[in-house]
């Protein structure tokens, strides 16, 4: 389904932040590695469904009852899963690759994905697993999908790995290596990226009584082999700051009175977006489990290191277009290897709008608009000329279009990768959401049913 949005005069209302996508992936995997547990209020989206299917293929039983998942796990001993299609989910792909290395039946597991995922690199992870005794093979020099793992077990040992492309490599190893035949040591080399996601993995594994010793800078890890996952009988998933960012950004640009609930004061890395907004001049009301904003605000450009929080880049770039001065986002080479080259795509779209943009290998600078492009624009990141379908880019461009009274024409299937309820939440705040049959600018689209 294709949709377009109509700008409201005022954004107002209360919405609930969806459960964390990153945490949902990890909780499903940890529960599958355990015996039996109940996952309370996980995120139901295409990407997390891919993780659920992958764990089922590897031997877990996972059923949904209401908003919860009941997991009967494979106790650290998965079976080979044949061909597992993980769709567009890079997190699922990386986690599944290491899980499959624990199989011991001599059969194979092949992890495949869509065309976008098949371009994303896995080289450091595949090389590390090979050093740890795994019979594994990817495609080409970057070990892209399909990746095939033969079920001969994970031996353990000492390995060095680079995470400049993705911290998911380390999280993947941390989830599997405790069940290796022998002890494992991991040393991270080169530039670090996305450390909060590694911290999230470690914090979760602690709840499952997995023993991992690590250095404070997260560059050295040691874990004994032959451990067993023994988690809580019930575990809940917290709200996602990276998804709430779109609404808090909109509230900063619009006449608004918005409250986003289900946001707790935890260690989630993307909570940094609150600091970004504050530095740009936004006054937030931060409560125990919610954040409120009453806009609009005059934004000031800032310099911000997004090395640990790359998912915040697209929406921060949009804010930069409306801020005075310049906004420089840097230390984020990994975002060129996401669902799209996000630096290149956001540069192209912001320049179409009229913004001056500079880019480098790991940074982008946006200069605030004095005279935006007044001609009729359509922000369509799934333009057939560019073939980009990136959920975070699409949601960010929808906010750019709303704030600038332009047209955004998006693909709801792409956004459902991480946030199936995005349009319903926009409606709750007063945005008109129109459904369109074709990928073209609508004169009058069919309204989605009103959310109550």
Report DSSP state, residue 20: P
Do 253 and 59 touch, CB atoms closer than 8 A?
A: no
Report the greatest alpha carbon distance in the chain.
64
In DSSP notation, 316-376 reads HHHHHHTSBSEEEEES-GGGGGSSS-HHHHHHHHHHHHT-EEEE-SS-EEEEPPSS---S-
Please say whether the beta carbons of 166 and 94 come within 8 A. yes
Distance CA 94, CA 169 (A): 7
Which residues are CB-contacts of 30 (< 8 A; sequence separation ≥ 6)? 175, 204, 205, 207, 208, 229, 231
| R_g over Cα of the chain | 22
Given a contact cutoff of 8 angstroms between Cβ atoms, the answer to whether 61 and 53 are in contact is no
Among 270, 308, 311, 425, the one annotated catalytic: 311
Cis amide leading into 146 (omega within 30): yes
Residues 326 and 320 sit within 8 Å (Cβ to Cβ):
yes
Q: CA-to-CA distance for 425 and 193, rounded, in angstroms?
A: 31
* Adjacent-strand bridge partners of 399: none
311 is catalytic: yes
User: Quick count: other Cβ atoms within 10 Å of Cβ 382?
Assistant: 18
Q: Pick from 219, 223, 226, 198: which is nearest to 211 by CA?
A: 223
3-class SS at 90? helix
Name residues whose C-beta falls within 8 Å of residue 70's C-beta, 6 or more positions apart in sequence: 36, 37, 38, 39, 62, 63, 64
Strand 378-379 vs strand 184-189: parallel, antiparallel, or unpaired? unpaired
User: How far is C-alpha 279 from the geometric centre of its chain's CA atoms?
Assistant: 24
Give 272's DSSP letter: H
Vertex 95: Cα angle to 122 and 412 (nearest 5): 90
Nearest to 257 by CA among 297, 285, 295: 295
CB 243 within 8 A of CB 18: yes
* Residues carrying an active site annotation: 311
């Amino acid at each position: 389904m294709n949709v377009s949005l109509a700008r409201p005069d005022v954004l107002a209302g209360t919405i609930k932040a969806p459960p964390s996508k990153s945490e949902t992936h990890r909780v499903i995997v940890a529960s599958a590695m355990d015996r039996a547990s109940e996952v309370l209020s996980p995120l139901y989206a295409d990407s997390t469904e891919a993780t659920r299917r992958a764990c089922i293929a590897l031997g877990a039983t996972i059923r949904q009852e209401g908003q919860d998942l009941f997991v009967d796990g494979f106790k650290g001993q998965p079976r080979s899963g044949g061909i597992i299609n993980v769709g567009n989910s890079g997190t699922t792909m990386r986690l599944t690759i290491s899980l499959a290395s624990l199989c011991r039946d001599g059969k194979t597991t092949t992890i495949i994905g869509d065309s976008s995922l098949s371009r994303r690199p896995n080289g450091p992870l595949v090389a590390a697993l090979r050093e740890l005794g795994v019979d594994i093979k990817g495609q080409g020099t970057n070990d892209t999908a399909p990746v095939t793992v033969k079920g001969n077990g994970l031996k353990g040992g000492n390995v060095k790995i680079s995470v400049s492309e993705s911290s998911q490599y380390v999280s993947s190893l941390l989830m599997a290596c405790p069940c290796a035949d022998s002890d494992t040591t991991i040393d991270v080399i080169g530039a670090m990226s996305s450390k909060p996601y590694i911290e999230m993995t470690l914090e979760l594994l602690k709840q499952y009584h997995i023993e991992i010793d690590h250095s404070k800078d997260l560059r050295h890890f040691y874990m004994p082999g032959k451990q067993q996952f023994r988690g809580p009988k019930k575990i809940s998933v917290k709200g996602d700051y990276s998804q709430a960012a779109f609404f808090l950004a909109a509230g900063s640009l619009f006449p608004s009175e918005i409250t986003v609930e289900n946001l707790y004061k935890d260690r989630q890395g993307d909570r940094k977006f609150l600091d970004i907004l504050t530095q740009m001049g936004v006054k937030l009301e931060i409560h125990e489990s919610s954040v409120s904003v009453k806009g609009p605000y005059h934004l000031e450009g800032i310099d911000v290191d997004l090395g640990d929080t790359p998912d915040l880049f697209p929406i921060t770039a949009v804010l930069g277009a409306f801020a005075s001065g310049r906004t420089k986002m840097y230390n984020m080479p990994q975002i060129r290897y996401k669902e799209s080259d996000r630096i290149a795509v956001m540069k192209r779209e912001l320049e179409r709008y009229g913004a001056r943009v500079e880019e480098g290998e790991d940074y982008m600078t946006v200069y605030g608009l004095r005279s935006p492009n007044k001609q009729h624009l359509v922000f369509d990141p799934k333009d057939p000329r560019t073939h980009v379908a990136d959920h975070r880019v699409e949601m960010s461009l929808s906010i750019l279009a709303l704030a600038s009274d332009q047209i955004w024409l998006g693909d709801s299937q792409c956004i459902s990768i991480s946030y199936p309820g995005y349009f319903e939440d926009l409606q709750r705040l007063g945005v008109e959401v129109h459904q369109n049959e074709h990928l073209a600018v609508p004169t009058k689209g069919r309204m989605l049913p009103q959310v109550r």
